[in-house]
Structure 1
């Protein structure tokens, strides 16, 4: 099941990260920690950082360098209007997909009960 979860997460991680950033701006480690708090404990930091680079390149976030007590400044990511539009599209797509999957699941369950 872990492998299936990993594969499904790959397709939804961008939307999940955008949802986290919709809540409040954050830097990479904070995002990874929040993912783990929400039950996505298998998410590697490297995966999150690569995703942040991609969404920055696509113009979905604004980035501010904030001084850090330790080491170099941190890149704090905040959702911009284009990112909010992408997140809204993600949630709309998610609802359609979840409804279709749920329909298949309930259809499958009723078939199992008849046999």
Structure 2
């Protein structure tokens, strides 16, 4: 238990340091670039908010449907690979049969 509290408090300290560094960097960029920086920052924050909304929506849909999107995509990819493999195997069998026929015809011509 002591280790857990120690790690948690260390993470809190690190988080506070990072927040202070980010705040200082934000002030410096604002002082140096002014309106251009603020406009860019608003655009980025808007995209982050849009991404959060999309993530929450997708997560909720996944929880409600009982599927995990990444696992569904992996299953689709696996099915496609399996289909491609079986298709290649069928084509290989056809080509082998054609080559066998050609070989037989060559052997028949030589023996005649």
* TM category, shorter: 0.3 to 0.5
The structure that is strand-richer by fraction is 1
Tell me the TM-score normalized by structure 2: 0.33
Tell me the TM-score normalized by structure 1: 0.33
Q: Which has the higher contact order (CA 8 A, sep 6+)?
A: 1
